[in-house]
């Protein structure tokens, strides 16, 4: 994991931080209640995806696979001093 990602993640304890949905993630993605729960869970316990994270805007991508649904969620987040903001969500069938 890159040093800048460790620094950004170290600002907030993601298992306890407030997680908010940005406008694009909340309105344009047509997420069900179950999807929204899985997205928040992905932010809290998912693995960091170094290849999708971008240093210039300090956006960190998390991914998590849910066996029951057979879906992998990729969640792009932006860290703020008091909360974690979800920028966008990508759902893919299968384990990625």
> How confident is the model over 71-92, as pLDDT tens digits?
999 999 999 999 999 999 999 9
Extract the tokens encoding 25.
């993630």
- Could you report the per-residue pLDDT of 4-43, keeping only the tens digit for each? 899 999 889 899 999 999 988 888 778 899 999 999 999 9
Task: State the pTM of this model.
Answer: 0.89
CA 24 to centroid of chain Cα atoms: 13
Question: What pLDDT is attached to residue 93?
Answer: 93
Rounded CA separation 76/82 (Å): 17
Q: How confident is the model at residue 1 (pLDDT cuts 50, 70, 90)?
A: confident
The range of the structural domain enclosing residue 69 comes to 3-93
**Number of structural domains, the chain?**
1
pLDDT of residue 25: 86
Domain at 11, CATH number: 3.30.2310
**pLDDT for res 37:** 95
């Amino acid at each position: 994991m890159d040093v800048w990602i460790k620094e950004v993640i170290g600002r907030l304890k993601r298992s306890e931080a407030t997680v908010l949905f940005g406008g694009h993630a909340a309105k344009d993605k047509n997420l069900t209640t179950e999807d929204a729960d899985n997205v928040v869970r992905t932010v809290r316990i998912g693995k960091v995806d170094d290849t999708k994270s971008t240093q210039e805007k300090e956006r960190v991508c998390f991914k998590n696979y849910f066996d029951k649904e057979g879906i992998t969620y990729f969640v792009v987040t932006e860290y703020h001093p008091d909360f974690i903001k979800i920028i966008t969500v990508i759902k893919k069938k299968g384990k990625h």
